[in-house]
Amino acid sequence: MYSISQLQDLINKQIVEKKYPVTPAELYDPITYIMSLGGKRMRPVLTLMACDMFGGHVTKALDPALAIELFHNFTLMHDDIMDKAPLRRGQSTVHSKWNDNVAILSGDVMLVEAYKTLVSSIDSSILRDVLTVFNDTAAGVCEGQQTDMNFELMQDVSIPQYLDMIRLKTAVLLGCSLKIGALIGSASTEDAEHLYNFGVNIGIAFQLQDDILDVYGDPEKFGKQVGGDILSNKKTFLLIKAIELAEDLDKEELQHWLSAADCDPASKISSVTAIYDRLGIRQLAEEQMNLHARKSLYELNKVSVKAENKQVLVDFAGQLLIRET
């Protein structure tokens, strides 16, 4: 079994060695650029891990894993246009460095490249199954992004609506990454499905952790500005739960901060955090996160390979439960 860092090295090498057509430069340079911005490569690593788990040849999963990373970066390229984001991993986004049109069209061809890379590397016996989960996932990710944008304009978002949004926007791609790796590793349909469910639940848990860390994270470790979600009134699990539970003075104060136009950022962060503390929001978010982490381990437990082959994924899920305490 390969370690996570070995698999990261393998996929990073695959990404660096991948060559795209030279012209038109405006179409293909942005692909090389965004793929070079780095990241943990979590999704392609999951594909390689799943293949490895069932004794499959990891080399056979490298191009499919690259296809998934291409798809993920295509969504980032288009999301950054829609969010008008200037930076991605500390560097200019594609639409800032070039322009919106370049980011639209280069993203389009990137999605096509993902399909090309899949179609040319997947065995015929599993091609339809792989493409079916990939297609359903790709549509789901678009649905999640649209729902997230809709939430910005909505007054009332419920917790079930929020959980369904993060399932689509973030979690199904982790499930898809694992399922494709499992299919390449010749896993049974049942095992591939259990790994898919493992991935979806771990993805939801990850997003909830991200919501919690945005408020309660160590600024040095978190990598993003603590309190960013509070400042932008982002409808996270924490805010939605707080709106649901707040009464009387807490409710008034929360509404004040949500509608305050010009306010001191530090005051807003500390005041809203204090409301969260009084309502016990952190604990509720951690319980929800734990629930999904446990569900993921329950699914992993059902996969019919020996325990030592699952250890790397157990560790992956376990990191969440550890950080929580």
112 binds its own copies per the rule CB under 8 A: yes
Query: Binding residue for its own copies (CB under 8 A) from 16, 21, 38, 302?
Result: 21
Residue nearer to its own copies on the CB measure, 42 or 105: 105
Grouping H, G, I as helix, E, B as strand and the rest as coil, residue 227 is coil
Dist. CA 4–CA 47, nearest whole Å: 11
- The piece of 137-145, 178-186, 189-197, 207-215 that touches its own copies (CB under 8 A) is 137-145
User: Interface with its own copies includes 139 (CB under 8 A)?
Assistant: yes
Question: Is the Cα dihedral 234, 213, 76, 140 positive or negative?
Answer: negative
Containing 88, the helix (H) or strand (E) segment is: strand 87-88
Among 150, 158, 189, 301, binds its own copies (CB under 8 A): 150
Phi-psi region of 41 (alpha: psi -120 to 50; beta: other; left: phi over 0): left
Q: Which amino acid is at 96?
A: S
Left (φ > 0), alpha (ψ -120 to 50) or beta: where does 90 sit? left
The minimum distance between CB 79 and its own copies, in angstroms, equals: 9
Per CB under 8 A, the list member of 147, 170, 201, 271 interacting with its own copies is 147
If one asks whether residue 95 binds its own copies (CB under 8 A), the answer comes out as no
Q: What are the CA-CA distances from residue 207 to residues 6, 203, 280, 292 (Å)?
A: 25, 6, 19, 11
Which of 32, 85, 108, 234: binder of its own copies (CB under 8 A)? 108
Q: How far is the CB of 317 from its own copies (least distance, A)?
A: 29
Q: Work out whether 85 is an interface residue with its own copies (CB under 8 A).
A: no
Q: Does 154 bind its own copies (CB under 8 A)?
A: no
Task: Indicate the SS3 state at residue 87.
Answer: strand
Residue closer to its own copies (CB basis): 5 or 125: 125
Q: Which is nearer to its own copies, 9 or 26 (CB)?
A: 26
Q: Which stretch binds its own copies (CB under 8 A): 145-153, 256-264, 265-273, 289-297?
A: 145-153
Question: Of the candidates 32, 92, 96, 146, which one interacts with its own copies according to CB under 8 A?
Answer: 146
Near its own copies by CB under 8 A: residue from 36, 135, 189, 270: 135
Q: How many C-beta atoms surround the C-beta of residue 37 within 10 A?
A: 15
Question: Which stretches of 18-87 are DSSP H helices?
Answer: 25-35, 42-53, 58-82
Q: Which parts of 257-316 interact with its own copies (CB under 8 A)?
A: none
In SS3 terms, 47-59 reads as: HHHHHHHCCCCHH
Instruction: Work out whether 157 is an interface residue with its own copies (CB under 8 A).
Output: no
Torsion of CA 16, 19, 20, 24, to 10 degrees: 90
Residue with Cβ nearer its own copies (111 or 226): 111
Beta bridge partners of 92: 87
Residue 25 C-beta: closest distance to its own copies, Å:
9
Q: Identify the bridge partners of residue 91 per DSSP, sorted by sequence position.
A: 88
Contact 11, 41 (CB under 8 A): yes
Closest contact distance (angstroms) between CB of 321 and its own copies is 33
Does residue 78 belong to the site contacting its own copies (CB under 8 A)?
Answer: yes
**Nearest in space to 231 (alpha carbons), one of 265, 188, 259:** 265
Q: What residues make contact with its own copies under the rule CB under 8 A?
A: 21, 23-24, 26-27, 78, 81-82, 100-101, 104-105, 107-109, 111-113, 115-116, 119-120, 124, 127-128, 131-132, 135-136, 138-139, 142-143, 145-147, 149-150
